[in-house]
Amino acid sequence: MKNVLFTICLALGCFLVADAQIKTPAPSQGCKVEQSLGLSKVLLDYSRPNVKGRELFVEVEAWDQIWRTGANGSTKITFESDASIGGQKVKAGTYSIYSIPNKTTWTVMLNTDLTMGGNVDKYDTANEVARFTTKTLDSPFFFETLTFDFADITNDGADLNLMWGDYMISMPISLATDELVIASIDKAMLGVSKEEYYAAGSYYFANGKDINKALEYVQKANETDPKFWQVYKEAEILAAMGKYKDALMVSQKSMDLAKAADYKPYVKRNEDFIKKYAAKGKM
Question: Is residue 43 predicted with pLDDT exceeding 90?
Answer: yes
Question: Is residue 16 predicted with pLDDT exceeding 50?
Answer: no
Confidence bin at 17 (pLDDT 50/70/90): very low
Helix, coil or strand: residue 119: coil
Question: Is residue 11 predicted with pLDDT exceeding 70?
Answer: no
Q: How far apart are CA 131 and CA 11, in angstroms?
A: 58
Domains present along the chain, CATH in parentheses? 24-175 (no CATH), 178-281 (1.25.40.10)
Q: What are phi and psi of 32, to 5 degrees?
A: -125, 130
Q: Please give the average per-residue pLDDT across 53-75, as a whole number.
A: 95
Please give the model's pTM, rounded to 2 decimal places.
0.62
Nearest to 78 by CA among 106, 29, 40: 40
| Residue 48 buriedness (CB in 10 A; 0-12 / 13-18 / 19+) | buried
* pLDDT recorded at residue 26: 72
